Chain A
Amino acid sequence: MEERPFSDISYRLYLDEDKFMGSKCRKCGQLYVPPRHFCLECRSEDMEWYEMKGEGELAAYTCISIGPAFMIEEGYDRKNPYCTGVVTLAEGPRIVARIEGVDASDPEAIKIGTPMTVEFLHRGEGEKAKTFLAFRPS
């Protein structure tokens, strides 16, 4: 894999390319997503990029009626809430991500433990283009 620094900026660049990437310690095998520059377990700085499978299950969620400006621009509001959550990945780590493919106006029907698959949401054009990590029920 190419030599991108193990940074948040690289992580977001990979998302733009529909890749969900973590960093893995070459010494002890510990996996981090988003990536880290060095291993918290063994303090090694010998890391490599690792592509996540993009599978997991829902660990926590919320359905937001009053969102930040960029979500309001997408058309979300009190009448049209959106869901965002925490997913426990098949490889072990957890990640925060938007949750698609659920009815955010019926939050009780959303179930923790639901199997989820990664999805890349490309929003905005040109300089405003941005990719959101998302998951939807498998």
Chain B
Amino acid sequence: MSKKRKLGRGVAIVGAGMSNFGMFPDKDSKDVFAEAFSEMLANVDKGCDPADIQAAWIGNFSNDFFVHQAHWGPIIADLAGLAPKAVTRTEGACASSTLAMRDGLMAIASGMYDIVLAGGVEEMSKCSTEEVTEGLALATSPYEGAAGYTFPGVFGALATAYFHKYGAGREDLMNITIKSHENAPLNPKGQFKQTIRDLMEARKARLEKKGQPVPDWADEKAALWDPGFNPAVAWPMHLYDCCPISDGASCILMVAEDLAKNFTDNPIHIVGFGQGSGRGLHACPSLTSFEANKQAAVEAYGTSGLSPKDIQFAEVHDCFSIAELIHIEDLGFFEAGEGYKAIANGETRREGRMPINTSGGLKCKGHPVGATGTAQMFEIWKQLRGEAGERQIPGRDLYIGATQNLGGTGGTCTFTIFERR
């Protein structure tokens, strides 16, 4: 399985777009997708006539549940002016739009098409928190749902297994949250734009205004230990270990490598791709790793001929803080059981050896689940082209980045490697 398999022909990204992520009571899925699509077109350096797009794949997990509308392929086809060409919805829970990219990749590599669109959309904020929790729980393993697990509950259980095996604790997960919130103010499209310090000051001001006792936290961790600031959701997962409920959309334009120069002098090549499937907690080989990640990593490193040390930075799927820690170990960026120490040493900060989630991650950027995969690619596109503005990784020439996207509770994991040549 680890045999090196090259794509039939190379595929490059020549445009990327992303809507603002957040809770938008006055916008629907079409509105946010239109934002992403327009930006993508505007980001194609030499321009793109939308009439040249031959097909599209659109990731969407569960708008059926969230807004009672399914069958998003033709809706997006109509919106983007692609009808009557083929537009297909892909579903892989929170990895839905990476699967859209995968279908586009295979279609171009096979020679079927030359120019395709891949993207994703989700509209979650019209539901109550309870409804969203129920909707997301549809993507757990059936045995877990029956045992009373919620989404955060499954990740909470993984965290206790990790703590027990490697001697880590809640404060190690807090380092991940604090780091993500350090990047948050630098991403103008993100849902949360405040550092933990900003949020602490805001809470103090609110309590003072209400005439309630104002806490005197020594630092960020003191606030995160305070259940008034950071209540338990599924211990050891607390509010600040969990990504928010979001609306948003994202998309990329993919073309056959030999056509890329018609669109831009600075394309981003997709050089490695892997996808794996995982089983429930009862059947997976390890409680401190996702087997689907390992499969995806073997495939992506195999197709690219690259190894973990070649990856300069990555966006990984931090739906919950513990997930970020497990991913960076599963993908080989850090040894198993060493990731939390590297995080504590600042190695995953923007200035660190291996920057992780410069976008602020799902935690701060937001997580409209079907849009997340191609939104991670939007960040890689920006960073590799040196266009990430204030959050640009400082002081180095970036040419290889990667995205890791997880669906469900690890049922689907993908790992994609991108190169600027």
Contact = CB atoms under 8 A, between A and B. Distances in A.
Interface residues of B, number: 36
Nearest to A93: B282
A82 B231 CA distance: 15
A98 B148 CA distance: 7
Given A71-B148, A98-B147, A62 B133 contact: no
A69 interface: yes
A82 B148 contact: yes
A84 B133 CA distance: 17
A66 B133 contact: yes
A85 B157 contact: yes
B235 A107 contact: yes
Contacts of A64: 148-150, 152-153, 156, 233-235
A14 interface: no
Nearest to A134: B147
Contact of B147 (A81, A84, A112): A84
A66 B287 CA distance: 23
B143 interface: yes
B237 interface: yes
Contacts of B152: 62, 64, 66
A59 B283 CA distance: 13
Given A64-B148, A86-B287, A34 B236 contact: no
B149 A96 contact: yes
B235 A81 contact: yes
Interface stretch (B75-83, B85-93, B158-166, B334-342): B158-166
Interface in B120-145: 129-130, 133-134, 137, 142-145
Contacts of B160: 60-62, 112
Interface centre among A65, A86, A95, A98, by most chain B C-beta atoms within 10 angstroms, is A86
Given A65-B231, A66-B233, A68-B133, A60 B281 contact: yes
Contacts of B145: 68
Given A61-B157, A68-B134, 11 more contacts: A8-B142, A34-B143, A59-B287, A62-B153, A66-B150, A66-B234, A81-B235, A86-B287, A94-B281, A107-B236, A133-B147
A61 B161 CA distance: 8
Interface in B149-189: 149-150, 152-154, 156-161, 164
A86 to B, nearest CB: 5
A66 B234 CA distance: 7
Contacts of A81: 232, 235
3 shortest interchain CB distances as A-B pairs: A62-B156, A60-B161, A63-B235
A84 B390 CA distance: 43
A132 interface: yes
B280 interface: yes
Contacts of A96: 143-144, 147, 149, 280-282
B51 interface: no
A52 interface: no
Interface in B283-300: 283, 287
B231 A78 contact: yes
Contacts of B134: 68-69
